[in-house]
Structure 1
Amino acid sequence: YTAFYLKIDEYTHAGENELRVEVDNLHDPSVVPLKGDFNFYGGIYRDVWLEVENEVHFTKDTSLGAEQIYLTSFDTHKEKGGLQLRFHITNTGKEQEILQHLQIYDPGGNLVHQDQVPVDPGMEISKSYTLEKPVLWSPQSPALYRLKLSLWNAETLEVLDAFQTHYAFRYYRFDADSGFYLNGKPLKLIGANRHQDYPGLGNALSNDRHRKDIQLLKDMGANFFRTAHYPQDQAVLNACDSLGLLVSMEIPLDHEMTDSPEFRAQTRHMMEEMIAQHHNHPSIIIWAYMNEMFLGRKLERDQKDIQTIVDFAKEMEGLSRAKASDRYTMIPNHGQLELYERPGLTRLPMIVGWNLYFGWYEEDPENLTRFLHNYHKQVPDKPVLITEYGAGADPRIRSLNPERFDFSVDWQFQYHLSYLNQFRKMDFLSGAAVWNLFDFGSEFRQDAVPHINSKGLMSYNRKPKDAYFLYQARLTKDPFAEILPTQFPVLPASLGSEPIYWPIKVVSNLQDATIQVNGDLYPSQKLVDGFAEWKVPLVGDSLHVFAQVTGDSGKVIVREKVYYLSSALNINLGANFYFHDPETYTLWRPDQAFEEGKFFGHSEGMAYRPRQAGIGTSRGIDGTELDPLYQTQNQGLSGYHFELVPGEYEVKLLWARIDPKLDGKFMVVINGKELDEVDSRKMDEFKAISHSYRVITGKRMIIELKLSRGKTFLNGIQIISSK
């Protein structure tokens, strides 16, 4: 994840040369990452440059893949800005007098400093400059100065080499009791992590795609970015500099290390590469060098491994402070305080990061506050950041009764709402970064979308989920409003006399909102915590929502959205959520028990729920992209009832053997006619199966499952009119 230089002078010759670069990504126990919840990919996927130098040139640090022209702030505040410039010069030709020519331009493009001095090759050149009343860089105003540094032949004034970059003046500090300060003012850091992969591209994104990703983070209202879990492209950091995002960057030492001299040397070298290559970016304020190293470990059982990690962390901390004394250091840990505190790992870095998932992997989002207050009590002298938090969400899943690990967008929205409200009550908390800005590839993942970690605020293809808009409402200053739900264009039409009431939300950073639905005006509401919500009955063929949002200044925003209402009887058995197939615009309803007056429902049976959290199985299902339809199941049902318009229908039944312990054999009988025998022993585990039948029925269709062995089971039913 870091760059490298190769000098090829000795291999080239006059005329045409063939240059071929070969790399491999085979597992090597001495090279990180060894483990991680993300796809490593491989190959050359960032820019490759062929550089041709004059005999006199700025010296490259070929061992660290760096320019070796370093800019460092010193003694900077609102009255003056100090800048130290360090570089080396190489002359491989005849001796000549060389001039260094420096120009500094302010953010408005005005030349504010210029000098020209003789310099000698072969030794480090260090210059210090002070600018009066510098324009300070911040997320609100990312003011960048521009430096032009060149080497001239003193006699001919020929330009021998040139270097141009941007830089910024800012000063900052972390305080264990009162949080983060930028340019003397308190600032709560709120942002996200980001993995760099994209559908169809893997890690091989263009620079333009990288910049667009960072723009999406900025548009969310973020001021903070963690480059988990590796150094990212220079285009990413340039975008952070110009857009105003404060950055924590780390090397990919994630979970595991090898206790060998080779591993230590490689990891130290990677840390030095990262610092050298990205040193000049003013957006970077933190260097980190390991992540969740005690995950899966226990204090007594793994005492030797834990001590090995602590000893290596001491090495890495010393290296980081020596190479980059102008930045803070950090280690992010997973949410087990005693596990990290007792061996002393929390005592080493300047900042402690916590990856906390209360409300997802652990119960109750509100436990976040209790954990952090306990940390602050035990480690009162260390600033703290939440370096990860998040909940998985599949945009195809919606629930009127969301719960932990159901992968509904609605639970994710509630989760992030809870965390945002808790953050503002803890002054000692310096900030937090969502895990993750985008869904990303993780091959071993199963869940609702196999091979994808779905905790993103946006989908893998960069489409916003509802929670992304919540952050915009809470964090942005420019007037903003959006109608939710998003990415869910089809809602369930009410069937029978009892209407379905669906929550329609307006998220905004303004103050008051009102909506009209199909021409009916709903009462105006004050927006609280960035949103207002109305329960709207789903009747008719569509829902035309018109929202008007107003601010105290008189600003008015109008939004419109149309949802289609589906009366189709597509039932996801064992589920308590709605599922929308975006490819076919098909909406699947949750299961329910049959009662007179209802249009559908099961007789007997219960939902398969083998886990403490979540519905059905978390395993991926072979043979389908619609995993949530097969991951849930009703077991032990005797049948299913439907109230229909008399006529001819296609009845499609879905099965998957998701409970390996279940042994069932039964006959499918529809309206008294035996149609099919189902035997779990003849099914492959976790593989989608569907059978379709043509049925002519009266007003009531009864599907019976007549048991001959074990227990009945069924995953889905689709009733399709032949008209």
Structure 2
Amino acid sequence: MKRFSLNILFAVLLCSQTVYAQQKKRLVNNWEFVKQDLGGIWEAVRPVKKGNPEDVPLWQKVTLPHCVNAEDAVDPDVNYYQGPSWYRTQLEIDNNNQNGRTLLHFEGAGQKTDVYVYTTKVGSHVGGYDEWTVDITDAVEAFKQTEEFKTQFKGKVPVSIRTDNSRDLEMMPSDLSDFNLYGGLYRYVNLIYAPGLSIDKIFAVPEVDKAGRNGKIAVRARFYNPTSLSSATAEIKLTDPKGKVVHRSSRNLNALNGDVLLADFQLKNPQLWSTNQPLLYTLELSVKTPQGTAMQTEKVGFRHFEFVEKGPFLLNGKRLLLRGTHRHEDHAGVAAAMTEEQIRTEMKMMKEMGVNFIRLGHYQQSRIVLNLCDSLGIAVWEEIPWCRGGLGGEVYKEQGRRMLTNMIEQHYNHPSVIIWGLGNENDWPGDFSTFDKEAIRAYMTELHNLSHKLDPSRKTAIRRCDFCKDIVDVYSPSIWAGWYRGIYTEYKQVSLEEFNKVKRFLHVEWGGDSHARRHSETPDNALSKVQRAGAADERAGDASLFGGSARVSKDGDWSESYMANLIDWHLKEQETMPWLTGAAQWPFKDFSTPVRPDNPVPYMNQKGVIERDFTKKEAFYIFQSYWTEKPMVHIYGHSWPVRWGEANEAKMIKVYSNCEEAELFLNGKSLGTKKRNSQDFPSAGLRWMAPFATGQNTIRVVARKGKTTVQDEISFVYQTEKWDKPAKLTLTKIAEENGIVTLEAKLFDSKNVQCLDAANWVRFSLAGDGQLIDNQGTSTGSKYVQMYNGRAIIRMKSNGGKSSVALKSEGIPTVMINL
């Protein structure tokens, strides 16, 4: 058995067409899956009669990528499954390369994986996030000589894969982490035909001075050489972003072991990679032997970056304020098993919001993500999953070393990467009987040194482990002003205090939770309960919704309205902090977590600016108004169908825009023009006070930036009736399209006045032919959810039949609707 790690960028992953692109296949279809363990590998390959009811377990057809926990991660009634699962398929394998190798390349599988060809175990891997490859050549050739190959499997090769995400204290990451440790083949699996000598990895080191005039690049390669060839010819070609060949060279190789230097040359006035102009060069390597030619293509970029000690961040010699967010590998209905199209959509939405920096939390992510960061212009902090729990034994520590090595070597060439993260919240104990700070410091130092040995060009960083902040190059403390501690107006003061404690400061993780579609007329009320503590760090228990000191995370209303104010304040302050390297809001998209069962959408961290299904929250547009250049305007409240207050009471209308000025119209009447001033809080001065008409209202805004005009419009009802305690529910069909029915629940008092501040829990259930679209982890995709302003939405597939849907809330009579 031979097993190694490949670093192959294929055409389908934003690269030029290569020989490998002709010999690589994504194994998407024709898979079967069972969510349990087997008694042994024989149960996966034994001959059975089709449709035999006595054949157990029952396998289901799936496509890859596939996550074991696609739905149960957010099922409000169960703990998500952590245990073994199996996948199986049958492959037609015909490798025509002379002495070629047949490989299975895994882009990531969780969390422990075993691979079998028929009944032969050909490889294993521990770790859910790095890439790995298994050479199945010998096992395939041996199986082709068997009678089973010809008869039972009709010329195909059975491949079975066991994945296991069971709890294991001697594995990273900890189960105390604020995210699910998913199981399954949740990234792509590839079948590769490689020649006898192939390229394992390329290490390209493009360098340029701060002025951007003098460039150079060194190229090394590591080969996979199972037949021990002793010589080859390597050809290097470098093409600039416009397609012009700027270098071509050839070298005869007589040593194919270790990392072999292939080229080292100068380049005058290289075109620079930046977040505004992410210009990429194409590096092509071909390696020829009598047994064939291997080719690999890499995208590389020339850029110079610097975290100024006690100062800002510089890219290519100029200050760049890092405007960031975070990403978890998680999506509605599929969990970690996001397709390339879904990943591309998400990353483009980040760029649309104005992001130029991202922290990939808290583990190595798909190279698809890194390729998009390169091409879109998003600087990257990527980290290993040493997250919470403490420090385990030698097996645990060796996994960390291995994952750090794999992350750096597999993502070495991405110009977007500026930081290798070594850990997150490593001051959080709980997995082990002892918590040894000195042992953690020693291991952190080891990882720091290993990172610089593998890659001297990038910085190291951690978040929230104060007793290790002197070890790494860049440090991020815990600052959650206005959410877990303090109030949001303390943000600048607290940040400056933390900045002064370290050599290089970068603030990652800020923001707070918001229940999508929940809005408030008085969003800042909870701040009156919170003391100005002069500190804004998250502490043990702060994420809980019960007990402890007053804090907005527990005592606030979780409205989009409050989060709009908090984000607005942070962004306007960041514009007046010249020493700030940057900050990253946590996170871009809501994601599932096993440690938050009591949140308004159970098992969801709801701090995203979009929901788990790409639905934008109001906060998305606030970031756009500060971070983007393309003219935009957005009236707050698109998902707020009913506002409330006294008759003739002046209410605030907020507009978020990056335009110079905006004119507002209420029910057709102009309320005047206002100019934007980023320091005029809230909404940069684009706010109007006016009384609404009882009943229906329409607001329209026209904003101007230079000669460009953009506009936005919303309609809503203004309710002046006062409501008493909730007394009855209604359930109404409000839409149907392509067999998808949308139902809306509402809560009223005994006089039929809608209770617009109601946050009651409601539960939907269905009997009949239809199917609820639930377990999505969204405000409109959960069968058990807190109401937003006295309403809740659920969708269902009608399946062309009849159904009854029930709506239940404790202490209120249940209602039903027949469809």
TM-score w.r.t. length of structure 1:
0.75
Judge conservation of contact 2:506–2:581 (CA < 8 Å) in 1: yes
Q: Does 1:310 align with 2:441?
A: yes
Structure 2 equivalent of residue 557 of structure 1: 710
Judge conservation of contact 2:426–2:464 (CA < 8 Å) in 1: yes
Q: Larger deviation: 511-520 or 396-405?
A: 396-405
- The CA deviation string for residues 89-126 of structure 1, in whole angstroms up to 9 with x for no partner, is 45556968632122111111111111222223523321
**What is the CA-CA distance between 1:310 and the residue it aligns to?**
1.6
Structure 2 equivalent of residue 86 of structure 1: 220
**What is the CA-CA distance between 1:540 and the residue it aligns to?**
4.7
Judge conservation of contact 2:698–2:716 (CA < 8 Å) in 1: yes
Q: Does 1:507 align with 2:640?
A: no
Judge conservation of contact 1:493–1:541 (CA < 8 Å) in 2: no
Q: Does 1:269 align with 2:402?
A: yes
Question: Please, which of 612, 634, 646 is the counterpart of residue 482 of structure 1?
Answer: 634
Structure 1 equivalent of residue 499 of structure 2: 376
Structure 1 equivalent of residue 459 of structure 2: 328
Judge conservation of contact 2:209–2:304 (CA < 8 Å) in 1: yes
Distance 1:440 1:558, change over 3 A: same
Distance 1:453 1:571, change over 3 A: farther
Judge conservation of contact 2:477–2:498 (CA < 8 Å) in 1: no
State how far apart, in whole Å, the 2-side matches of 1:23 and 1:89 are: 29
State how far apart, in whole Å, the 1-side matches of 2:225 and 2:392 are: 42
**What is the CA-CA distance between 1:372 and the residue it aligns to?**
2.4
Equivalent pairs, count: 591
Aligned-residue Cα RMSD (Å) equals 3.4
**What is the CA-CA distance between 1:630 and the residue it aligns to?**
11
**What is the CA-CA distance between 1:415 and the residue it aligns to?**
0.7
Judge conservation of contact 2:326–2:584 (CA < 8 Å) in 1: yes
Provide structure 2 residue ranges, at least 5 long, that are not aligned to the other structure: 1-128, 145-154, 525-551, 728-733, 736-741, 766-781, 791-806
Amino acid at match of 2:707: G
Question: Please, which of 222, 235, 245 is the counterpart of residue 355 of structure 2?
Answer: 222
Structure 1 equivalent of residue 302 of structure 2: 169
Structure 2 equivalent of residue 358 of structure 1: 481
- The CA deviation string for residues 37-57 of structure 1, in whole angstroms up to 9 with x for no partner, is 112221111011122211232
Structure 1 equivalent of residue 517 of structure 2: 396
- The CA deviation string for residues 131-153 of structure 1, in whole angstroms up to 9 with x for no partner, is 11111000110001111111235
Identity among equivalent positions (%) equals 25
State how far apart, in whole Å, the 1-side matches of 2:373 and 2:725 are: 44
**What is the CA-CA distance between 1:276 and the residue it aligns to?**
1.1
Structure 1 equivalent of residue 241 of structure 2: 107
- The CA deviation string for residues 613-638 of structure 1, in whole angstroms up to 9 with x for no partner, is xx999x99898957445999xxxxxx
SS of equivalent to 2:607: coil
Q: Does 1:10 align with 2:138?
A: yes
Amino acid at match of 2:189: V
**What is the CA-CA distance between 1:373 and the residue it aligns to?**
2.4
Amino acid at match of 1:471: F
- The CA deviation string for residues 512-531 of structure 1, in whole angstroms up to 9 with x for no partner, is 11111211111111123264
Q: How is 1:246-645 mapped onto 2 (pairs within 5 angstroms)? A: 246-295=379-428, 304-333=435-464, 340=466, 343=467, 345-379=468-502, 382-403=503-524, 404=552, 405-445=556-596, 446-488=598-640, 490-492=641-643, 498-499=647-648, 501-529=650-678, 531=684, 532-551=686-705, 553-565=706-718, 584=743, 625=783, 627-629=785-787
State how far apart, in whole Å, the 1-side matches of 2:222 and 2:373 are: 28
SS of equivalent to 1:289: strand
State how far apart, in whole Å, the 1-side matches of 2:763 and 2:618 are: 26
**What is the CA-CA distance between 1:559 and the residue it aligns to?**
2.4
Structure 2 equivalent of residue 666 of structure 1: none
Amino acid at match of 2:190: W
State how far apart, in whole Å, the 2-side matches of 1:227 and 1:471 are: 19
Q: Does 1:200 align with 2:333?
A: yes
Judge conservation of contact 2:195–2:292 (CA < 8 Å) in 1: no
State how far apart, in whole Å, the 1-side matches of 2:228 and 2:591 are: 54
**What is the CA-CA distance between 1:392 and the residue it aligns to?**
0.7
State how far apart, in whole Å, the 2-side matches of 1:572 and 1:204 are: 43
- The CA deviation string for residues 683-719 of structure 1, in whole angstroms up to 9 with x for no partner, is xxxx7242279xxxxxxxxxxxxxxxxxxxxxxxxxx
Amino acid at match of 1:386: H
Distance 1:265 1:89, change over 3 A: closer
**What is the CA-CA distance between 1:510 and the residue it aligns to?**
0.9
State how far apart, in whole Å, the 2-side matches of 1:23 and 1:483 are: 47
State how far apart, in whole Å, the 2-side matches of 1:402 and 1:208 are: 37
Q: Does 1:213 align with 2:336?
A: no
State how far apart, in whole Å, the 1-side matches of 2:225 and 2:752 are: 86
SS of equivalent to 2:182: coil
Question: Please, which of 671, 684, 690 is the counterpart of residue 812 of structure 2?
Answer: 690
State how far apart, in whole Å, the 2-side matches of 1:323 and 1:349 are: 15
State how far apart, in whole Å, the 2-side matches of 1:194 and 1:96 are: 44
**What is the CA-CA distance between 1:585 and the residue it aligns to?**
5.2
Judge conservation of contact 2:659–2:703 (CA < 8 Å) in 1: yes
Judge conservation of contact 1:484–1:506 (CA < 8 Å) in 2: yes
Amino acid at match of 1:363: G
Distance 1:223 1:238, change over 3 A: same
Judge conservation of contact 2:390–2:429 (CA < 8 Å) in 1: no
State how far apart, in whole Å, the 1-side matches of 2:482 and 2:747 are: 26
Judge conservation of contact 1:572–1:588 (CA < 8 Å) in 2: no
SS of equivalent to 1:456: coil
State how far apart, in whole Å, the 2-side matches of 1:501 and 1:390 are: 29
Judge conservation of contact 2:322–2:582 (CA < 8 Å) in 1: yes
Structure 2 equivalent of residue 719 of structure 1: none
Q: Larger deviation: 540-549 or 497-506?
A: 497-506
Provide structure 1 residue ranges, at least 5 long, that are not aligned to the other structure: 61-67, 335-339, 575-580, 608-614, 633-653, 656-686, 694-723
**What is the CA-CA distance between 1:384 and the residue it aligns to?**
0.7
State how far apart, in whole Å, the 1-side matches of 2:228 and 2:170 are: 43
Structure 1 equivalent of residue 63 of structure 2: none
Q: Larger deviation: 198-207 or 112-121?
A: 112-121
Of the two, which has the highest radius of gyration?
1
Distance 1:296 1:101, change over 3 A: closer
Judge conservation of contact 1:89–1:120 (CA < 8 Å) in 2: no
Distance 1:554 1:447, change over 3 A: same
SS of equivalent to 2:190: coil
Distance 1:9 1:257, change over 3 A: farther
State how far apart, in whole Å, the 1-side matches of 2:762 and 2:508 are: 29
Amino acid at match of 1:525: K
State how far apart, in whole Å, the 2-side matches of 1:57 and 1:195 are: 33
**What is the CA-CA distance between 1:376 and the residue it aligns to?**
3.1
Judge conservation of contact 1:225–1:433 (CA < 8 Å) in 2: yes
Q: Does 1:132 align with 2:268?
A: yes
State how far apart, in whole Å, the 2-side matches of 1:260 and 1:94 are: 37
Judge conservation of contact 2:595–2:603 (CA < 8 Å) in 1: yes
Distance 1:258 1:303, change over 3 A: closer
Q: How is 1:130-169 mapped onto 2 (pairs within 5 angstroms)? A: 130-153=266-289, 160-169=293-302
Distance 1:85 1:118, change over 3 A: same
